[in-house]
Amino acid sequence: MPNHESTEKTIVQRLINKTGNPLEWRWADKVLIFIGLQVVAFGPLLLFFCLAIRFPEILANCLNPSALTYVLKINISFFLLFGIYALFAFLLRKRSPNSKWLAYSFAVIISVHTFIFMAGIGYATNPITFLSILSHAIIGLLLFDIYLSLLILCTWGLMFVIQISGELFGLLEYAPYLIEPPFMDGKIDNYWLILNMGEGIFTVLVMFILSAYTINRWHKREAQVIELSDLLKKMFGRYLSVEVMNSLIENPSALELGGGRRKVTIMMTDLRGFTALSERLEPERVVQMLNSYFEIMVDVVFKYNGTIIEIIGDALLVIFGAPQEMPDRARRAVACAIDMQNAMVKANQENRARGLPEIEMGIGLNEAEVIVGNIGSSKRSKYAVVGRGVNMAGRIESYAVGGQILISESVKQKAGEVIRIDGQKEVMPKGAEAPLTIYEVGGIAGHYNLALEGRDPAPAALALQIPLRYTVLEGKDVGRKGVEGFIIKLSKNSAEIICSGPVEILANLKMNLGDVDEKLSTRDFYGKAIRLSEANTQTYVVRFTSVPPEVDGYLQALRKHAVKPGER
């Protein structure tokens, strides 16, 4: 047997798909609906009165025959006015489809028209009167807005005041269309009953259909919102904080394909020496270490409402200021970076508990205008950020050593004087047309009031210099291999090294120990020349970026047992 419910639903759905949702039509089209309802409601009454004039025997005993001609003239005038409004509505469908003056003025016209008719048959005698008020107001609210609905109620109220005042002063007659009450000796006039029942059923039916349709649409939209919320949680739940998620749920249009220009603060983080570290560990241990690290860092990012754009290996790309607007995005990003560096203590505690090596992170921040939004196809897309500012954030981060936060001039200007600058450098990033000044952040005052903790202690002077060979990996001297040098001071994470020649600041070095057994001398360790030492122009402070456990154990043993007297 055919499924009639399914067929009926299909027909209704086809009609909606073809004509669109009436509640979402343009105002000019909705005015045409309102005109149609008014004509359908009063058309049969006018037809009945015309027939009553021609055939008086069908006229209800309570109605005044002499008033019928007057009623017809008034209603014909209003129907002509309805025709004029319909013509205007058709003309405005293309020129000004959402014209409010047309809808508001027509609301006044139909309110006056309905009240005149209801006052003629007695606003207190006929229960349809107040039902008509309610139906007009509800239809106005469903099709248009609350203001049009209030306008209908106010017009009715004004007409009531005029009618009652006129009756009190003897200027107007109550129910002039009636010559006697429709209720006599406990009986009701049959024609009166049919007239009111028909009008009442029609009014209630229209209200029911519109209300049922609207409520059904609301239920469907509520289901769509729930589905969209679930989709958002699946797509963005691991990358956005609860606050940003709520913002997207309230404004789903932000998820549409496409992007827009937005000023954001971009954060790029990276683990120092992780590539070499991952080559020494089993893959399962590497994944375990990364998962533990990201678990801590993501919580910190969400704490400051950052948006995680991407996790690339051991690196994080985070933005502040999209999709949710953030006037204090630069300060928030700086505070987040400081909190993340301080949280590395917890990450390394967990690593030690699992027998994993300690790790260090460098962070770079840049403030720039970028293109941000959903990029891809309708089948596969992702929330992404594109622009030179992203590349610049990566360049700035590449100059940072473990535990360091470097920011651009734009971040410094945006954050203001609340941040503590511990140093600055002028660098020439790849692809840049002019030198770039970057600043090292040590803390932030004000609302966040944070400072970097656990800074590397001052290096201790060694009793004996440690010979080494180094290779410059970046800068003008790139490719110089096996150059001799000596470690003269040593701390947990850095050293002062006498070099055989000049080395560019922030150049990366690959080093090997000298005067040690072959197994230890072949182990490479890496560092970055961060500044010249105060001792002389050939001595550089080198921050270690990747040190194998064997080399680290050897160096730390020297630091503890081979320092000059009084330097421990």
Domain segments of the chain as ranges: 11-218, 255-451, 460-561
Position with higher pLDDT, 186 vs 365: 365
Provide the pLDDT confidence category of residue 435 given band limits of 50, 70 and 90: confident
Query: Is the model's pLDDT at 397 over the cut of 70?
Result: yes
Write out 133-187 in H/E/C secondary structure.
HHHHHHHHHHHCCHHHHHHHHHHHHHHHHHHHHHHHCCCCCCCCCECCCCEECCE
Position with higher pLDDT, 5 vs 21: 21
Does the bond joining 323 to the residue before it have cis omega, within 30 degrees of 0? yes
Domains 255-451 and 460-561 share a fold: no
Residue 176, pLDDT score: 79
- Average the pLDDT over each of 161-165, 240-244, 343-347, 433-437 and give the range with the smallest value: 240-244
Provide the pLDDT confidence category of residue 60 given band limits of 50, 70 and 90: low
CA 321/CA 307 separation, integer angstroms: 8
Question: First vs last Cα of the chain: how many Å apart?
Answer: 95
Residue 340, pLDDT score: 96
Query: What is the helix (H) or strand (E) element at residue 397, kind and residue range?
Result: helix 388-398
Residue 416, pLDDT score: 92
Residue 349, pLDDT score: 93
Query: Is the model's pLDDT at 65 over the cut of 80?
Result: no
- Average the pLDDT over each of 43-52, 290-299, 385-394 and give the range with the smallest value: 43-52
Mean pLDDT of the chain: 82
Query: Is the model's pLDDT at 7 over the cut of 50?
Result: no
Residue 190, pLDDT score: 62
Query: Is the model's pLDDT at 93 over the cut of 90?
Result: no
Rg over alpha carbons for the chain, rounded to the nearest Å, is 41
Can you give the length of the chain in residues? 568
Position with higher pLDDT, 454 vs 140: 140
460-561 CATH choice from 2.40.30.10, 2.40.10.220, 2.40.50.140, 1.10.10.60? 2.40.10.220
Query: Is the model's pLDDT at 542 over the cut of 90?
Result: yes
Q: The domain 255-451: what is its CATH number?
A: 3.30.70.1230
CB 487 within 8 A of CB 495: yes
Query: Is the model's pLDDT at 271 over the cut of 90?
Result: yes
Position with higher pLDDT, 117 vs 508: 508
Residue 5, pLDDT score: 44
pTM given for the model: 0.57
| Average pLDDT of span 205-211 | 71
Most confident segment among 37-51, 407-421, 539-553: 407-421
Provide the pLDDT confidence category of residue 285 given band limits of 50, 70 and 90: very high
The position carrying tokens 């241990």 is 285
Query: Is the model's pLDDT at 462 over the cut of 50?
Result: yes
Residue 19, pLDDT score: 53
Most confident segment among 125-139, 248-262, 446-460: 446-460
Provide the pLDDT confidence category of residue 244 given band limits of 50, 70 and 90: low
- Average the pLDDT over each of 1-15, 399-413, 444-458 and give the range with the smallest value: 1-15
CB 336 within 8 A of CB 304: yes
| Average pLDDT of span 521-538 | 86
Instruction: Return the bridge partners of 126, or none.
Output: none
| CA torsion angle 513 515 517 519 (round to 10) | 20
Q: How many CB atoms lie within 10 A of CB 349?
A: 11
Query: Is the model's pLDDT at 209 over the cut of 80?
Result: no
Report in angstroms the alpha-carbon separations of 182 from 42, 67, 177, 266.
20, 16, 11, 80
- Average the pLDDT over each of 15-24, 63-72, 345-354 and give the range with the smallest value: 15-24
Most confident segment among 65-79, 123-137, 252-266, 471-485: 65-79
Residue 6, pLDDT score: 45
Query: What is the helix (H) or strand (E) element at residue 310, kind and residue range?
Result: strand 307-312
Residue 391, pLDDT score: 92
Residues 12-32: pLDDT tens digits? 555 555 555 666 778 888 888
CB-based contacts of 559: which residues, under 8 Å, 6+ apart?
Answer: 460, 462, 490, 491, 492
Residue 306, pLDDT score: 92
Residue 343, pLDDT score: 95
| Average pLDDT of span 144-155 | 90
Tokens read off for 530: 């961060």
Query: Is the model's pLDDT at 2 over the cut of 50?
Result: no
What percentage of the chain has pLDDT greater than the value 90? 32
